[in-house]
């Protein structure tokens, strides 16, 4: 990585972490995927029950595979009935997620179709660990919401067999399509439980 980009990411990450702390959330920074994996595993005790949404960033740093191979009770929604997985997730020790965007003062924005990921972030699992690439950092909440709608959603929908305007055009059309993946939005601006939400920033581009 270009040393100037590396330095900028480090400095910006510290600003985000300070913002998270002011909102009773914990922040960490790892320079790359390898460091991020080690740090994430150090935050999750062996034997923990762990679940996740469809977070691309979690998989990209190798965390999903490490949890499946390791001494953890991993709730794999791809290996069981989805509603059973969602029900078990609600009482998990850790829920892993990416973020569609985060403001540089620590407000996290996520957008979802059926809302299972958003509900777990908001309430249920004892702890939530976000894995967030520095490409997700935005100057303010307004731009974070815009990124979630106009960058993350139109990119993410390309993975699915969905008939939405954004899949065809590559940009949000504020649609009401039956296949819409933008049914609900969650803005996490403060940690009600001061030790529940943890955000691991990674100095690389991750996810969408």
The domains of the chain, with CATH numbers, are 3-202 (3.40.50.10420)
Beta-bridged to residue 112, according to DSSP, are 184
Q: Which residue has the higher pLDDT, 20 or 155?
A: 20
Contact between 201 and 28 (Cβ < 8 Å): yes
Tens of pLDDT, residues 70-113: 999 999 888 888 888 889 999 999 999 999 999 999 999 999 98
- Percentage of the chain exceeding pLDDT 90: 75
Beta strands in 21-81 (DSSP E): 26-30, 49-52, 73-74
The whole model's pTM is what? Answer: 0.94
How many angstroms separate the CA atoms of 114 and 183, rounded?
Answer: 7
Say what the alpha-carbon torsion angle 6, 158, 97, 189 is, to the nearest 10 degrees: 80
How many angstroms separate the CA atoms of 126 and 94, rounded?
Answer: 6
Check residue 179 and give its pLDDT: 85
Q: How far is CA 11 from the centre of its chain?
A: 21
Q: How far is CA 69 from the centre of its chain?
A: 22
How many angstroms separate the CA atoms of 122 and 119, rounded?
Answer: 5
DSSP for residue 159: G
Tell me which of 25-34, 59-68, 168-177 is least confident: 168-177
Among 123, 57, 68, 45, residue whose Cα is nearest residue 96: 57
Q: How far is CA 157 from the centre of its chain?
A: 16
How many angstroms separate the CA atoms of 86 and 75, rounded?
Answer: 9
Tens of pLDDT, residues 30-58: 999 999 999 999 999 999 999 998 789 99
Among 105, 127, 133, residue whose Cα is nearest residue 36: 133
Q: Is 2 exposed, middle or buried (0-12, 13-18, 19+ CB in 10 A)?
A: exposed
DSSP for residue 201: E
């Amino acid at each position: 990585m270009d040393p100037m980009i590396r330095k900028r990411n480090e400095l910006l990450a510290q600003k985000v972490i300070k913002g998270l702390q002011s909102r009773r959330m914990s922040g960490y920074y790892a320079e790359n995927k390898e460091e991020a994996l080690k740090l994430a595993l150090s935050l999750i005790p062996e034997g923990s029950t762990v679940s996740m949404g469809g977070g691309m960033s979690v998989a990209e740093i190798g965390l999903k595979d490490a949890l499946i191979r390791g001494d953890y009770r991993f709730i794999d929604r791809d290996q069981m009935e989805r509603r059973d997985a969602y029900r078990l997730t609600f009482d998990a020790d850790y829920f892993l997620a990416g973020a569609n965007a985060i403001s540089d003062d620590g407000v996290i924005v996520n957008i979802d179709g059926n809302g299972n990921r958003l509900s777990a972030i908001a309430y249920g699992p004892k702890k939530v660990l976000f894995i967030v690439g520095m490409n997700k950092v935005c100057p303010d909440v307004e731009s974070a919401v815009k990124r979630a709608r106009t960058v993350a959603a139109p990119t993410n929908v390309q993975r699915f067999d969905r008939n939405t305007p954004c899949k065809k055009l590559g940009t949000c059309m504020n649609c009401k399509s039956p296949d819409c993946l933008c049914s609900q939005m969650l803005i996490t601006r403060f940690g009600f439980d001061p030790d529940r939400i943890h955000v691991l920033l990674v100095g690389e581009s991750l996810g969408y």
